[in-house]
Amino acid sequence: MRLLEYEAKSILTQYGIKTPKGTLLSRNEDPADINYGPCVIKSQVPIGGRKKQRGVLDSDEEPELDRQIQSVFETEIQGYRPAMVLIEEKVEVANEFFMAVTYDTVKKRPVAIFSSEGGIDIEELAQKEPEKICREHFTFRDGLAEYKARQIIADTGISDKLLLGVGSVLSKLATIFIEKDATIAEINPLVLTRENELIALDCHLDIDDDALFRHKDLAGLQKDGSRYEFLHSQTDFERKAAEIDNLDHRGVAGRVIEFDGNLGLIIGGGGASLTAFDAIRAHGGKPANYCEIGGNPSVKKVKELTRHILSKPGVEQIAVIMNVVSNTRVDLVARGIIKGILEAGEKPSETVAVFRVPGAWEEEGIKILKKYGVRYCDRKVSIDQAAQMAVSQG
């Protein structure tokens, strides 16, 4: 279950991580009493890429505030519309950082990730300046002590009081990850203000559905249908995809929205999936669907999803595009894709327009793709370039 931003930030504050001064506003409330001056208006929907979809607006002039709030309330983002918006005081930013904690399915341990630059595409930064991103595994039993968090951060050149402060936040984020049974806990960006305060401007927190019985407060949120509106009525195609996702508890492979296109998409979740989807369209492609996968889905789930997407009339090719993955095995995705194509009676070399999934077990995945003559590319090829390659093959 993905928490809304304000819900995730409430947990951050419980653990002593500062967030901006903010007010939650429902659709029927009057914003007249809000007096922050310059502020940021944020749509509260359970999906990434809100800013690209005009779900996050900066407001510098108070006379415009009412109109902008209404605009955010009415903006649909991938089928979601907010029941609430978060209005936060704008802070003066001196530096931005990225930090996240997720689960490495290969090493079977949590991994902390830190970058000395935040608010940007981390994958692009990893390509251009890899020394600015550091990773460190730890155990559920021991957690991530502050001194270990500081060691990770120090490798990016941060020192002195700032090192102590950022290290404390990363250690607390790891504790949240463990104690809340999260699958990912991310702050992007964590900012240093001009007043030398560390503040989490945005937070992404996903809770393992299978662990919700241990968190009755969060389980209640999952059942609350008033948190946001889902405007899209499921088609038969989408319902079948949801059934595939429910085949077993491992990973996500089946969050599908159907479109009238001819290129099937199997793409990674979050902002990267929106980037890939938009890039396909920008290069003249016509997506047959929007589809998120991640969290190390089983070969069977990927196989069934592939067969299902290829069953859609008019779809002859698929594009498999993901961000750099640490919690999803590339070889398992590759196996599922190949098996799905073969069981659909098609040739993998002709059906996969492009395969771009860099990350864990990548070399093994490439061996499988090579065996079947599938066109693949590594992290040196951007998501945009991979999208262009996919469209050119159609």
Over 70: is that where the pLDDT of 156 sits?
Answer: yes
What CATH number does residue 73 fall under?
3.30.1490.20
- Say if 101 falls within a structural domain: yes
Residues 190 and 266 in one domain: no
Both 266 and 380 in a single domain?
Answer: yes
Arithmetic mean of pLDDT, 296-307 = 94
**383 vs 269: which has the higher pLDDT:** 383
What does the pLDDT look like over 105-137, one tens digit per residue? Answer: 667 889 999 998 876 566 566 666 766 788 899
Tokens of 249: 């508890």
Evaluate whether residue 3 is within a structural domain.
no
265 and 150 assigned to the same domain:
no
The per-residue pLDDT of the chain, averaged, comes to: 89
Residues 213 and 116 reside in one and the same domain: yes
pLDDT category of residue 104 using cuts at 50, 70 and 90: confident
When pLDDT is averaged across residues 136-150 and rounded to a whole number, the result is 95
The answer to whether residue 188 is domain-embedded is: yes
Residue 177: CATH number of its domain? 3.30.470.20
On whether both 250 and 313 belong to a single domain, the answer is: yes
User: Do 365 and 240 share a structural domain?
Assistant: yes
Tell me if residue 363 falls in helix, strand or coil: helix
Pair 184, 241 in one domain: no
For residue 369, pLDDT over 80 is answered with yes
Q: Give the per-residue pLDDT at 209.
A: 75
Out of 125-129, 205-209, 285-289, 381-385, give the one with best mean pLDDT.
285-289
Q: Is residue 10 part of a domain?
A: no
Q: Kindly state the average pLDDT of the residues 313-339.
A: 91
> Total domain count for the chain?
3
Strands (E) across the chain are located at 22-26, 39-43, 56-59, 80-82, 84-89, 93-104, 109-115, 133-137, 182-193, 198-200, 203-207, 228-230, 252-258, 263-268, 289-294, 317-321, 352-356
Comparing 202 with 231, the larger pLDDT belongs to 202
Instruction: Give the residue-averaged pLDDT of 72-94.
Output: 92
Q: Is residue 12 part of a domain?
A: no
Please tell me whether residues 279 and 153 are part of one structural domain. Answer: no
Residue 80 counted as domain residue: yes
Q: Which of 66, 89, 112 is the last residue of a domain?
A: 89
CB 87 within 8 A of CB 36: yes
Which domain-ending residue is among 220, 254, 272?
A: 220
pLDDT of residue 394: 65
Report how far Cα 376 is from the mean position of its chain's Cα atoms.
23
Indicate whether 242 and 379 sit together in one domain: yes
Same domain, 163 and 68: no
Express each pLDDT in 247-286 by its tens digit. 887 888 877 889 999 999 999 866 677 788 889 999 999 9
pTM value is: 0.71
Q: For the stretch 312-332, what's the b/e string if a residue is b when 16 or more beta carbons lie within 10 angstroms of its beta carbon?
A: beebebbbbbbbbbbbbbbbb
Q: Which of 189, 220, 251 is the endpoint of a domain?
A: 220
Strands 39-43 and 56-59, by their bridges, are: antiparallel
Residue 368 lies in a domain: yes
Question: Which one has a higher pLDDT value, 59 or 148?
Answer: 148
> For residue 59, what pLDDT is reported?
86
Instruction: For residue 320, name the pLDDT band (cuts at 50, 70, 90).
Output: very high
306 and 198, same domain (yes or no): no
Same domain, 99 and 246: no
Phi-psi domain of 112 (left: phi exceeds 0; alpha: psi -120 through 50; beta: other): beta
Q: What tokens does 220 get?
A: 């209640």
What local confidence, expressed as pLDDT, does residue 113 receive?
92
Q: What is the pLDDT of residue 261?
A: 94
Domain around 25: 21-89
What does the pLDDT read at residue 62?
65
Percentage of the chain lying above the pLDDT 70 cut: 94
